[in-house]
Amino acid sequence: MAHAAQVGLQDATSPIMEELITFHDHALMIIFLICFLVLYALFLTLTTKLTNTNISDAQEMETVWTILPAIILVLIALPSLRILYMTDEVNDPSLTIKSIGHQWYWTYEYTDYGGLIFNSYMLPPLFLEPGDLRLLDVDNRVVLPIEAPIRMMITSQDVLHSWAVPTLGLKTDAIPGRVNQTTFTATRPGVYYGQCSEICGANHSFMPIVLELIPLKIFEMGPVFTL
């Protein structure tokens, strides 16, 4: 999870998030290059006497500054489209979880476990144990296996919500009357936090998401849900 004074992104826990971090660094280097070239041109403009009038009719220069931005856009668009299609792929999920957004809590349904349904509310400050995180911990965590493709079916019962877990690279809108789906494969065990990322009312800030990811062998031994 994020910590105080953090500058970069959270550590990746899924292949999709690893790709997003790589693309972020790739795009950032291109932005740095563009900024350097623009600042260098401005510096030359302010410090150099313009004595060469032939530059007003430089066809080669106009060709370069027309083609170069197009090449830069292609270098950004190709990896971006690749990641976009990767996020839409659903490859034979091992487990399907349905998440329903409410004002202001989440309901989860394990459709592959006899329709197990439970609500997940934020823990009030008076109920926090030592080590719990204020405004982030919940009474019932979602327990999922690692190294297995998980499909999340996300919808809402009242207003727009958004189910987001940054370390997994997930952010999917929960829309009333519509079911959106996303998939992920976690690579490391641990407890990972997210929040509703769509302004959904007065208590929008109090809709945390907590995923407890455990090894697949332990998950297969039986229900270990923290109810």
Q: What is the CATH number of the domain that holds 52?
A: 1.10.287.90
Within-domain flag for 78: yes
* Phi, then psi, of 112 in degrees rounded to 5: -90, 0
Instruction: From 29, 59, 88, give the residue that closes a domain.
Output: 88
Q: Are residues 212 and 192 in the same domain?
A: yes
| 137-175 pLDDT, tens digit each | 999 999 999 988 999 999 999 899 999 999 999 999 999
Q: Are residues 106 and 192 in the same domain?
A: yes
Q: Are residues 123 and 211 in the same domain?
A: yes
Within-domain flag for 227: no
Instruction: From 88, 103, 123, give the residue that closes a domain.
Output: 88
**CA distance linking residue 97 with residue 150, whole number of Å:** 8
Encode 40-49: b = buried (16+ Cβ within 10 Å), e = exposed.
eeeeeeeeee
Q: How many folded domains does the chain comprise?
A: 2
- The residue segments making up the domain with residue 207 are 95-221
Please give the radius of gyration of the chain, using alpha carbons only, rounded to the nearest integer.
24
Residue stretches of the chain with pLDDT short of 50: 226-227
Question: What pTM did the predictor assign?
Answer: 0.81
Q: Are residues 168 and 56 in the same domain?
A: no
Q: Are residues 75 and 187 in the same domain?
A: no
The pLDDT of residue 226 is: 47
Q: Are residues 20 and 111 in the same domain?
A: no
CATH number of the domain where residue 126 is located: 2.60.40.420
Instruction: From 38, 59, 88, give the residue that closes a domain.
Output: 88
The pLDDT of residue 3 is: 75
Q: Are residues 23 and 61 in the same domain?
A: yes
